[in-house]
Chain A
Amino acid sequence: MNKICFGGKGFYLIRILLIFLTVVSIFAILWIRSNVITIEYRLSQLEEKKKYLIREQKVLIAEKSSLTSIAKIEQSGLAELQFPDRNKVVYVTKNIEPSINKVSFSRRD
């Protein structure tokens, strides 16, 4: 069985290895820590971007809603609110008889 001899070549190598490992560990920790911070910065930027996009989305929803308002469409002259001649409209219903001669609280559909 080989014994480690203090002051010998083996002990020297182990010492170097231990120092190397310690330095590497410290650097690894620092590197991971700095990476975490970098990722946090990146995340923060992405969150800002997300907030901005959500804000833009809200603006676009508002714009869409405004542009699709019947009043605006008619005022812009793109189209005039015209309804078809009801003599030419065919109503398709499913198993429902229109209750025309009825005055009652029960709803008709």
Chain B
Amino acid sequence: MHSRLKILKYLIFLCFLLIIFRLFLIMFVEHEVYLEKAKIQQVKREDIIPKRGNIYDRRGRELAISLEKESLYIDPVMIKNQEAINNILNNYLKVNYQQIVNDSNNKRFVWVKRKMDDELVQKIKNMKLEGVGFVAEHTRYYPKGNIASHVIGFVNIDEEGVEGLERLYDRYLKAQKSSKIVLRDASGKKLSDGIYPDIKGNDIFITIDEGLQYIVEKHLNEAMAKWKASSATAIMMDPFTGEILALANRPTYNPNDLKTIKNMANVRNRAITDLYEPGSTFKIVTASAALEEGIVKTSTKIDCSSGFIEVGGKKIKDVHKNGVLSFEEVIQKSSNVGTIKIALMLGKEKLYHYIKKFGFSEKTGIDLPGEVAGYLRHPNKWSGTSIGAVSIGQEVGVTALQILRAYSAIANGGYLVKPFVVSEIRSPDGNILFKAVIKREKVLSENTALTMREILKKVTEEGGTARTAKIEGNNVAGKTGTAQKYDPKIKRYSKDKFVSSFVGFIPAESPRIALIVVIHDPVGAHYGGVVAAPVFKAISDEALSYLNVPRDDAKEKGLIITLNSENSKRVVAVR
């Protein structure tokens, strides 16, 4: 009995020895092999989905943000019940399973539907289908809908900028892909992977103000409906800094629903990509040049009584016969004859020089994609009629932004400013990576700017062409423009296609905003004073209230209370 117990003891001891030996082999000799196997089974590298930076307006309101959505993929090899999957995909997603598999070229990862609705994701997840999986992705969302869509732009399905700021600042907005190590148990259940911060692109702060943008877009919509126009543009800018406060085009699109875009032309930012002949709004270049060169004074009389002028064998007429006009009346009444006579006094070289000085036929340098330079021929290539045509805004192609910039130069005392949209770029941790710098160039003397301002004020007063732009409480300085469109079919100016515009700044004496409204092909009327000036008035009226700009007579009416140190203390004491 004793010897049998001994044998059993030795056997157990031997077993333990074997186990220890095997453990030794596993833990020391074959350590590396098993470590690799364990790693493959337990450790998995997972992508951290980079999040695109946000776009905010000048008051920090979100204009573009990224949300997480799940996308559905299939692994055809893992799918056993193909018919069931086909039915589900067909019913819920309206896609044909067989078609997807055929197109996949034997790949084991095939996208079925990307960025799906959360409800649908949950429904399909609950079915626990083999060979069907989900990947989290970010999707761009524009909470304000089509507000400022031409400025912000949009991204494609892979979150790459396609239009607008999304395109131009893509490298700042998008973040670099990264990954993390995830531990899983034998059943594939995830263990804690620690705290990984979001990988996010930089945030962009723009100069657009949602409130002003809405005001502009609302009135542009009304104008489009009223005049059955083919397109329209409005830009609002701070004339001193070049900050774009609002920019809108019609037709427009909703960046959240790109499928509804019927025509890709709707995506175009017409304010900077479309050229038009500015007509009378261009006369300020001729007038400013003449004043700057000392060729005329405000009181200089110009005979416009014939009602037409012949330049290079071509008759150019005034809308109404005006008689003898002073220089300022030429602009106030928008006389073609008077302006051409001034241009003839100036000469084509000087006129060309000032057109260039005002920044025409050059890009403004705005930080939006697709800007065009404009069209202006060198005086060597001008025909006999060109000096007449160019001085009244024909034979030149400009963008609405170029015209607005020229008027801003008059508003701010003679400086040509560089317009911009992005004011700041901040990293996710709040560091400022970029801050816009105001760029300006002196193009006119302050005296000329001041004189031109006074003349432009008269345009909206009694006897001017744009009394409809006059605003209760503040002086408006501006100019109407009515230009016939060139019809390439008949190779001459069309008789029923016009560009109606109004551009100006307000309050005239201390401008807060410069604004241009351009309406293409209005039906029923075509004069800038009838079509565009009322839109200018409606926009500026609300914009001044929005910006808390007092009336010009606010001080006399006692509407401005200035707190000095004494009465401010009193206010504090009363509190």
Contact = CB atoms under 8 A, between A and B. Distances in A.
A72 B86 CA distance: 40
A56 to B, nearest CB: 10
B559 A90 contact: yes
A62 B65 contact: yes
23 contacts: A41-B192, A44-B190, A58-B67, A61-B62, A65-B65, A65-B143, A68-B61, A69-B210, A71-B217, A74-B218, A83-B546, A84-B545, A86-B545, A90-B559, A91-B561, A93-B561, A95-B565, A96-B562, A99-B510, A100-B552, A101-B509, A103-B449, A103-B453
Interface string A58-79: 1101110110111110100000
B114 interface: no
A81 B415 contact: no
A106 B122 CA distance: 59
Interface size class of B (residues with CB under 8 A): 35 or more
B192 A44 contact: yes
Given A91-B548, A94-B562, A40 B192 contact: yes
B473 A86 contact: yes
A98 interface: yes
Contacts of B128: none
A101 B211 CA distance: 28
A25 to B, nearest CB: 17
Interface string B43-71: 00000000000000000011001111000
A70 B210 contact: yes
B178 to A, nearest CB: 16
- From A47, A74, A84, A100, residue with most partner B Cβ within 10 Å: A100
A41 B143 contact: no
B511 to A, nearest CB: 8
A103 B550 contact: no
B487 to A, nearest CB: 37
Q: Which 9 A-B pairs have the closest CB atoms?
A: A83-B545, A43-B192, A65-B143, A66-B143, A40-B191, A65-B62, A70-B214, A40-B192, A69-B144
A86 B192 contact: no
Contacts of B195: 47
B67 A69 contact: no
A94 to B, nearest CB: 5
A87 interface: yes
A94 B568 contact: yes
Contact of A92 (B143, B211, B563): B563
Interface in A33-50: 37, 39-41, 43-44, 47
Interface in B541-555: 542, 544-546, 548, 550-552, 554-555
B240 interface: yes
Contacts of A15: none
A74 B144 CA distance: 13
B405 to A, nearest CB: 14
B560 A93 contact: yes
Nearest to B542: A83
Contact of B564 (A37, A95, A100, A105): A95
Interface string B163-200: 00000000000000000000101000111110100100
Contacts, number: 144
Contacts of A2: none
Given A103-B413, A103-B449, 16 more contacts: A44-B192, A47-B192, A62-B62, A62-B65, A65-B144, A69-B144, A69-B145, A70-B211, A71-B147, A87-B557, A89-B559, A92-B560, A98-B555, A98-B560, A99-B510, A101-B509
Contacts of A63: 143
Contacts of A99: 510
A102 B143 contact: no
B274 interface: no
A95 B562 CA distance: 6
A86 B553 CA distance: 11
Contact of B61 (A65, A71, A86): A65
B197 to A, nearest CB: 11
Nearest to A72: B145
- From B193, B473, B562, residue with most partner A Cβ within 10 Å: B562
Contacts of A89: 548, 550, 559
Contact of A103 (B66, B68, B509): B509
- From A39, A61, A65, residue with most partner B Cβ within 10 Å: A65
B67 A62 contact: yes
Contact of A105 (B191, B211, B240): B240
Interface string B508-549: 011000000000000000000000000000000010111010
B363 interface: no
Contact of A81 (B62, B414, B542): B542
A62 B62 CA distance: 8
Interface string B435-457: 00000100000100110010000
A84 B563 CA distance: 23
B141 interface: yes
Contacts of B218: 71, 74, 81
Given A44-B192, A65-B144, A83-B545, A95 B413 contact: no
B475 to A, nearest CB: 10
Nearest to A99: B510
A78 B65 CA distance: 25
A108 to B, nearest CB: 5
B548 A59 contact: no
A108 B512 CA distance: 9
B455 to A, nearest CB: 13
Interface in B404-453: 411-415, 440, 446, 449-450, 453
Contacts of A66: 143-145
A75 to B, nearest CB: 9
Nearest to B415: A105
Contacts of A90: 559-561
A107 interface: yes
B209 to A, nearest CB: 10
Contacts of A37: 185, 191
Contacts of A91: 548, 550, 554, 559-561
Contact of B551 (A47, A87, A108): A87
